[in-house]
Structure 1
Amino acid sequence: MDNPKKKKKSIKRYTRKTIAGIKLPPLEPIPDSDIKTIVDIDPAFYTLIDGRPIRTNKSIHQYKHNIKNVALNRTLHGFLVDEILRIDKEIETERNCYDAAYKHFEEYQNSFDKFLADDNNKTIAIMQRSDALAKELANQTEEYKKANYELASLKSKLQYTDETLMILVSFQNFLNKASPLLWQESNSIQLDIKHPDIFTTDSDIYKKIDIDLISRRLKELPSPKLYFKTPDQLLTIFSLLEKQNLNYLLVATELSSEKNRFLRTVETMKQKLRQELDFIQEKNKEIQDTIRWNEDREMETKEVFFKILKDKIKDLVSSATVLQIFNYVDFAYQQLIAPNDVKLTSLDMVQALEREYDNLSLSISAYDLDMIKQIEKETYEHGNREVKQAKEASKLLKDVDKLSKRLNQSYEPTRRKIYE
């Protein structure tokens, strides 16, 4: 019984392809004569473990785990050894750099000490000179501040003087206005003249003052001429002005009634003018309506006139019958009376023919009636013969035209197509 179980276990061990997550190739049975061990390949293999205890655990998984740990520890050991070597090399390189830098530092220190030893006297002299210049600069700064303060105070005084001068000029202008007109004309006094500021202020109080400009503006000021010598004269003028103003007030009160009456008259005049203007506007409107009606009437009359001119007068003046009658009248006038050299109108020619007819009727009344009838008969026969002759001549003329056309056609080339 035990042997079949062992065989099954051995078969399972041989046929399993994965052990502890590692894929292994399938194991084939090997004959006993061909089995080789590690000693056949490396006889000194077991000499490495001489004197070591043999572990009791024979698990293949534990063996693989141990092999992995050994490999990892060897790899870690190699990495640590490489890091130690790298760090030693860097330490050696930094030590070399430090030695070189320290050497250079000692050289620089020695050279600087020599420079200090050589230039110490010059440095002390320069420092002493610098202290003297600093003291001198401080003294000059104080003097400059004092000068600037004095300049600012002078500018403020000059500005105050300028404002005072402008006030006095305005007072002078006022007194000149209050002075008599004769005195103003005799002294050529000009009033209400705007004088520019003598001194212009600036935000920068330390700015340089233009002395030439100030002197030129002072020269442009008017001469100090005054009519008043004492304040009493001014009071006298003011009293006279008050009396004159009072007189003006009295006259103004007297004229106020006239003014009011004039204003009322103006209002009445305005109302009348408005009424007349309204009346004129109404009349103007009526006239415009009449003009518009007349224009419409004119248009209607023109339409009727042109219609009559187009329809009736045209027929009476330029129709075929009228033209034929005119030709008959003109022919009769020229045959019976005289040629129409003076271009008489049809009415004049008809009246002349009527007078001629009346004269002929009077002349004919004296003749015998039988003779007249015979003459009329002969005249009608003569007229008939002339008509017949005219018809024959017309027919003959048509035949001649036809014959001439045929002769002309005979001379023309044939129009038939000639076929080859």
Structure 2
Amino acid sequence: MKKSKLSSQELFKTVRTSRSVLKLPELDTSAKCCDENVPPQVPVSHDYKKKLIKTREREMKEEEEYRNPYTLPERLRVITKGVKHHRKKHDPPVPDEIHTVCDIDPEFFTLVEGRPVRSFCDIKAFMRDLRDATLLRANAGYINDKILQIDMFTFKEREEFEQINRDFEKINQNFMVFAEQSFTDAKHVMKLAKETSMQLANVTDQLEEYSFVFIKIKNKLINIVAEYDQLSQYKKFLTEISPKWWHKRYASHCEKADKLCSRLLTQLQTETPEISTLYSQSALSLAQLPPELYFKRPSQLITHLESVCRQCLNYLEICGIFSGSFYKINMEKRHFEDAIHDHATHMQYIIDIFQKKVKNLEVTCDIFKERFNTILEKVIYELVASYESSKLFMCVQFVHSGLYGFKPDHRDSLTALMVNIERYYDEISKEIDSLDLIVVKKATRQIFNEDKRAMAEAHLARTKLKEYYFLHKSLRKSYEPSKMKTRWYN
């Protein structure tokens, strides 16, 4: 048997078209019934149609992929494959008996060809037909289920469409009512706008007239302010020219007049209605002040100015005479100031140098003081409080007490003890000089031997004491509880 190169879906299609037994006439009737029960079409937007077409194409692709149940995995299949039964092995023929091919299986073998021939009533063909029929019925049920789902989907869509139509009609009616109301409101607003525009035009005309009058008055006021400024400057000039005794007598009067004049100037520059009343008050108070002037006539002023001119000419002549000497004096003064400045800078430079030297000397002095103190402390410690000095003092004190038989006293000094020991040594050396040398050597040898024996005994005692302390400590530790933290396990 040659293996077919067709897929499972293509085989299923060929079998379904070739065999009329497997065709189901119910599909046509169900389709007709579905066509009859379909409701009338409702106008739908173009975008909505596109979405429906895309979803249906996707569903058709999925149906084509899973049309054959055997293309699905086993856990999703409607029908599973049959379990293959192993063929029973026939017992081999007895070698003594003679058998032909026809005796073994007359249906599958022929003598002419000597190869198997498949009959039409084979069990495998029957199983294949049965499988095709079951697959066809399963597919038919699957298609019916899909048709019912499509019907339900279209029914839900129709209900939604009717609801949308009803909502749209309500919204349309509400919008028309809203448009009518807004139109009436707009008419009323237009009327009010026209009335207000007429009123605004009248008001603007009045404002232009008032502004024209205001500009005229303002120009007049500016001229008045300019004249007043000139007069005030002239008044200041007259008061400055007048003598000092007159200033002292009429100082308060002049101050009042100056304050009123300055207030008037500030009030004329502003345009608020409140300040206009203040302006009138200050103007009245200024008018009520009696004028106090030193120069009451122009001739007096002219004579005063002539005298001032003569004084100025006299001053100019004096300046012309002494200008050369003044120039020389000023030049010498500048040179002297420059020399003083240079000398001051030089002295400041020298002072800075000496200050730096003093600072360096102070730093070095502090360093040397610290070093001297440290050296002094070390020397004093080594001479007085060190271990070696204390050991030497104890040894000298012990020797002194051994020689003279006195008890050691805390008031003893090292120098006094050493002086006594040196005296004793001198006395002994004088006595030894008078003795025989052989006897002295024997005595010294005996003394040194005794000292060596005493030192050896002291060394042995020290080692024994160390062993005793070590054993005592270990024995105490053995009886005491351990200091390490122990862990208790259940």
TM-score, with length taken from structure 1: 0.43
TM-score, with length taken from structure 2: 0.38
Q: Say which structure, 1 or 2, has more relative contact order (CA 8 Å, 6+ apart).
A: 2
Looking at CA atoms only, which structure, 1 or 2, has the larger radius of gyration?
1
